[in-house]
Chains A and B, each alone.
Chain A
Amino acid sequence: MLPVLEESGISGLALWPARDPRVMIGSMHTTVVIVDDHEPFRRSARGLLELDGFSVIGEAGDGAGGIEAVERLRPSVVLLDIALPDTSGLDVAERLSGGDTRIVLVSSRDPIDLGARVGRCGAAGFIPKDELSGERLTAVLAGTA
């Protein structure tokens, strides 16, 4: 099997130029809940998104906790990992879709390894974990990613 990243449509080799911290990409009104079972990822993602002006108002380590947090906190965005310990993030997305909260899926897997359901589960978009940034999240939410 050949690694054929170019064909996947996702650049795995993007450069990340330094940015002026005063340029706020997200808005303090954009509230986010992060659902991921990996604590270091939640911490890094929170730091990164807050730097870009998002307001991370909650975290959850599994699908059930994620649903609970979203229903309680009603964030603008939920950053939802696909591989959760108790269920699939795709199931959680299907459960949450149709509400006010927009769903952005994250995974350290390539979307091509996740199948067609990623596009059908009601999520606004998908971001590979290693490519996460406020800018990328904004682009996904704006539908330009």
Chain B
Amino acid sequence: MRKLQVAIAAAGLVLGVIAYQILRDDLHQSVIRSLPAVAIGWSAIASGLIAWRRRPANRLGPLMAAYGLAVLIRPWQYSGEALMFTIGYALGQLNVALFGHTALAYPTGRVTDRLELWLVRAGYVFAVLIPFATLLVYDGGGLRYVPPGPGSVLLVRADHELALDLEQTFVIVVYGILAACFVALVVRKLVLATPRLRRILAPLLLAAVLAALRALTEFAFTFISPVPEFLDNLYWWQVAGQILLPIALLAGLLRARLARAHIADLLVELDSTPPDGIRDALARHLGDASLELVFWLPERGAYVDGNGVTVELPLPGAGRSVTAIAHDGEPVAAILHDPSLDEEPELVRSAGTAARFALENARLHAEVRAQLVQVQESRRRIVAAGDEQRRRIERDIHDGAQQRLVALALELRATQRRLGARVDPDVERVLSGAVEELQVAVSELRELARGLHPAILSEEGLAGALESLAARTPLEVTVAAAPPERLPPEIEAAAYFVACEALANAVKHADASRVTISAVHADDSLRVEVADDGRGGANSAGSGLRGLADRLEAHGGRLTVASPAGGGTRVVGELPCAS
């Protein structure tokens, strides 16, 4: 392999010098017009050889080198030597097919798309068959591209007209039809590519522009005489592009290689990266901004994201690829990435391996988060279930016992009315006492039910419930603000209980005379504030406030109590509450 590469390098050097000589001596070109072919050829051969050495398994390197050799062979068609002319004319046109093949094989070295494959095949067939056919009939009388010379050594039957027609056919088929197909397929490839792949494929845009320019200039040189000046300028742009393209392809090819060289840096960097920064580090090193990291939770038997939320891995063909990272045969994590990275599986795997310990750490993090999410969810469910139970018991008391007692009281009162003055005073006393007791029982039940869950909260929402609460409290209570709109029932209940508990404390312990309640719903959060003018010094760890804090935290909110001695008490509950 090494010898072959050295041989190609040597051949390239020699062929370049020969090409220059022919262009100068046989075609009588100026120095400046003789250099481009050599520069293009050398650029392609050098880039190809570097790619070949750095990526021995990738066929792109040999392809580029072959393209460079074909470019350098092409000037032989201007040679005065019959054999050199024949070789140059037979092989030189291959450069067009090799150009297309190289571009479409980038970056993997393989052409896999069916249409692209057909185009490459067609390129080779026409680039070989038409020149070969021309050589069979060309007698050296000169063609559009070739000055009169020695003629073909393969001449079978001289037919100058046919040779000219074949040359023209070649231009129409190769620079017309095939070049147009090439441009269309490159555009299609770029449009269909994922963002990361599109970045890698960017040099193909240059290739497409070059193909279009080349086609334009070849058509002009074939069919327009004299060639307009602006087309001559285009020729120079095309030359510059052709020199640059192999270098751009090489750079694109080696970028992944460079990324691998960064794996060592990645390892060092991850040492000081917090678990939630690993994704970014991997995304940067692999050049895939869309990269996602998921962690395997053995006890759940599922992958979760960094927040502990279960993630379904994308199915094959869903436009995302998955690389699993394992440790001692146990899955640790998986990298969800752009499918273009599939071309470099060892790169993704080595990055994943480098990140393994950090990932193991991050996995534990995710595990804890997952448990936390579960605990938070179950806490919310417990509070919600408690609320629901209170609502149900309130309704049961109201619809059941309370109604029966009310009916019984009315019944006894009717009996009293019927008996009137005829009744024994003792009986009358018993009846009156019973009615009285029943009414006390009814109002005690009413208080009990209201303490469990105030019906007005369900009926009228927070604003009505707070007004009702203020009216029932034997202090000067002002409701300074309350959201007029209805909020989720659990949020209304939590906010209501904040006001209830704070008011009860103000009455029982604070020796307060004035209380202000305000509930403001803004910026996706509900803030309930209860401030009294009492003696302060409330203990926020007391069971009432602690229970309230638990209730708020269950809904992702929090409770703060400020109660300096002698400075009143301010209880603030904050609850997340999307508008």
Chain A positions near chain B (C-beta within 8 angstroms) = 1-8, 12-21, 38, 40-41, 43-45, 47-48, 51-52, 83, 88, 108-110, 112-117, 129-133
Contacts and interface: CB of A to CB of B under 8 A. Distances in A.
Given A44-B407, A112-B468, 4 more contacts: A113-B454, A115-B456, A115-B465, A130-B406
B436 interface: yes
B417 A130 contact: no
A17 to B, nearest CB: 8
21 contacts: A7-B472, A8-B472, A12-B439, A13-B439, A14-B439, A16-B436, A41-B403, A45-B410, A47-B410, A48-B410, A108-B398, A109-B455, A110-B446, A112-B471, A113-B446, A114-B455, A115-B456, A115-B467, A115-B468, A129-B403, A130-B406
B410 A20 contact: no
A4 B450 CA distance: 12
Interface stretch (B83-91, B278-286, B368-376, B418-426): B418-426
B414 interface: yes
Contacts of A7: 471-474
Nearest to A134: B417
Interface in B411-463: 411, 413-414, 416-421, 423, 428, 432, 435-436, 438-440, 442-444, 446-447, 450-451, 454-456, 459-460
Given A38-B407, A41-B410, A130-B409, A16 B443 contact: no
Contacts of B504: 1-2
Given A13-B439, A83-B398, A108-B446, A41 B406 contact: yes
Given A2-B474, A13-B436, A19-B420, A108 B459 contact: no
B253 interface: no
A103 B398 CA distance: 22
Contact of B459 (A44, A47, A114): A114
Contacts of B469: 1
A113 B468 contact: yes
A3 B447 contact: yes
B459 A88 contact: yes
Nearest to B503: A1
Main secondary structure of the interface of A (DSSP, over half): loop
B121 interface: no
Nearest to A14: B439
A18 B473 contact: no
Interface in B496-530: 500, 503-504, 507-508
Contact of A38 (B403, B417, B435): B403
Contacts of B414: 44, 47-48, 51
Nearest to B403: A38
B411 A114 contact: no
Nearest to A110: B446
Given A1-B450, A38-B407, A19 B417 contact: yes
Contact of B418 (A3, A51, A110, A117): A51
B440 A13 contact: yes
B420 A20 contact: yes
Nearest to B405: A130
Contacts of A115: 456, 459-460, 464-465, 467-468
A112 B418 CA distance: 33
Given A16-B432, A51-B417, A2 B471 contact: no
Nearest to B461: A115
A18 B500 contact: no
Nearest to A10: B443
A11 to B, nearest CB: 10
Contacts of B471: 7-8, 112
A36 to B, nearest CB: 9
Nearest to A20: B420
A86 B399 CA distance: 14
Contacts of A52: 417
A131 to B, nearest CB: 8
B327 interface: no
Contacts of B465: 115
